[in-house]
Structure 1
Amino acid sequence: MIALLLRDLRLAIRAGGGFGLGLAFFLILATLVPLAVGPQPDLLAPIAPGILWLGALLACLLSLDRIFALDLDDGSLDLLATAPLPLEGVAATKALAHWLTTGLPLAIAGPALSLLLFMPAPAVPWLGLSLLLGTPALSWIGTFGAALTVGLRRGSLLLSLLVLPLYIPTLVFGAEVVRRGAEGLSPATPLALLAGITLGCIGLLPFATAAALRINLK
């Protein structure tokens, strides 16, 4: 699993489909919103949690179609299916590699980019924590969607339609954590729900992803 993880990390960085692409999109979105709405703090501050979480969601979505596509093109996906490592382990490793190259950089950069949207200072730590807890769910759900659409023509469009509805609970609870933090309220409830979604995805989706891969490889 470690060798597969390191391989996927190298491929993501070399192919430009992980760290650079998602982070650049996140930065562009955080920069363009103040230009479109206007640089007024009273306008930007209330919508900052939703904008940043939506940006993180879309940034994660950009590279999902590459999770299994490169392996399918060079034939290594068939080798992984017959390797001693179970497909469930392959799916979990792929999702972890996607999160390390996309979700984790977004969680690190999010608090800094929140300054562009005049987010209140008390909400900034909650933004970083919510992204850290919530973005793994985006990667695990996205990996499941990528397994369902691997090998399909125009699969990236279908992938977006499949995973976006599944992203909604994570988006809602993640933005709610930041909003409550900005207003001085306790974010414990949405934070617990966000963590529960992530843990559920990590525990269950590798099995669903492996089943989808087995169907598509037959």
Structure 2
Amino acid sequence: MAVFSWLDRSGIDEICAQWREGSLIGDASLLYPETYPDAWSAERLVELNGLFWGNLLEGEEAGGTFASKWERQLQGADIEVRLLAAEVLLIYYLPTEAVGRGRKVEMINMTIGPDHPELHIVSGSTVDQALRSGIANPGLFYNSGQPLLVGYLMDLALRIKQRSPGGTGRAVARQPVGFRPVRRGRRSAVRRDAQHGLPPPVPRLLRADRVQAAQGTGAEGVRRAR
């Protein structure tokens, strides 16, 4: 069925289809699949999860902001892990209208780092156009809870790899509406998610047509599908 949105979300859906097939079912980088064919492998996801969840920073530590803590956590990571981290941020930013395109691109490029400007998102690219759009404003917690939700995404991707036959994400990524057991997990991220009434955006990004169909039809179904 057609996917309802007040905005043109075709660029978002195109990127998410590539993420699902190339990065979750496969292992390749979302932005540079030929150069980094293993960026989303279980091994790389283990490494990124270790840098983040293994070095949680609270309060005013490392500068006190998400950006400063994120940079501290990624210190020493090689370019493939930094690119993976940047692509996790890209997925996090895709649905929200609450963060401007400039800030989204700034954070993604900062995560990639200054040593590889050739990998940065540039104005006018497909990804840049998608970041100018959005699906909705998911609420205050989507911004204030950014560390939890970004950590949730990287943990979810790892769980998909680990619970799928052969280490690929095929079994889960093709049926995102039904992977609730995989979504439950890492530390406080999902618990805080539920506490604030924020449904994770991953299912509607992975297969928006199936999520909308599962959520009903008519006006109520359209509102819930957004």
The TM-score by the shorter chain falls in which range?
A: 0.3 to 0.5
Which of the pair has more CA radius of gyration? 1
Q: TM-score scaled to structure 1, two decimals?
A: 0.33
Q: TM-score scaled to structure 2, two decimals?
A: 0.32
Higher percent of residues as helix: 1
